[in-house]
Amino acid sequence: MSQGEQQTLTKALIIDDDELVVNQTKSFLVAQGIEDIEQAQDGSVAWEMLQAAAYDLIVLDWKLPRVGGLTLFNRIRRHPQLSMTPILVISGFLQKNDFRLLAEFPVTRLLEKPFTANKLQLEYQNLLNEQYWYYENDNDIQFILQTEDDPKAIL
């Protein structure tokens, strides 16, 4: 991606066991130009898929069978190759305090079920804008993080 250009997302993974939500999300993503869309109905299968292939976007339900959304989210964010992959967390079981920390993670957005196409569009665009900002500012961010480890580096 060249400077000033937003990344085009081409491959997405939808992790949700609700077919209605999967179909709604899939239709939206296809309309956004994402044609390579895969699906996992539980967190265990999703984790295997995430380790085997690269995705430009992850749509993650919070309440999943086998391996839950929180566990999967933590695995994704700790994995070096996945840590900056955009994640749209979708859930109908929201306790605001439980999700407060999600706002602290880069390229992560939260969408409450049921949702409208407009709300999905808004959160999707916010996710792309945030990903673009991190890409554009990655060198500065890395410099700041390195200088925090060595205070003499900024003198």
Tens digit of pLDDT for each residue in 71-112? Answer: 999 999 999 899 889 999 988 765 666 666 676 778 898 888
Pick left, alpha or beta for residue 15 (phi over 0 → left; psi -120 to 50 → alpha; otherwise beta): beta
Residue 114's pLDDT band, with cuts at 50, 70 and 90, is: confident
Residue 152: the pLDDT is: 59
HSE value, Cβ hemisphere, 13 Å, CA-based, for 64: 26
pTM: 0.83
Report whether pLDDT(3) > 50: no
Report whether pLDDT(34) > 50: yes
Residue 2: the pLDDT is: 41
Exposed, middle or buried by CB within 10 Å (0-12, 13-18, 19+), for 120? buried
Average pLDDT of the segment spanning 150-154:
56
Report whether pLDDT(57) > 50: yes
Residue 86: the pLDDT is: 94
Mean predicted lDDT score pLDDT of the chain:
83
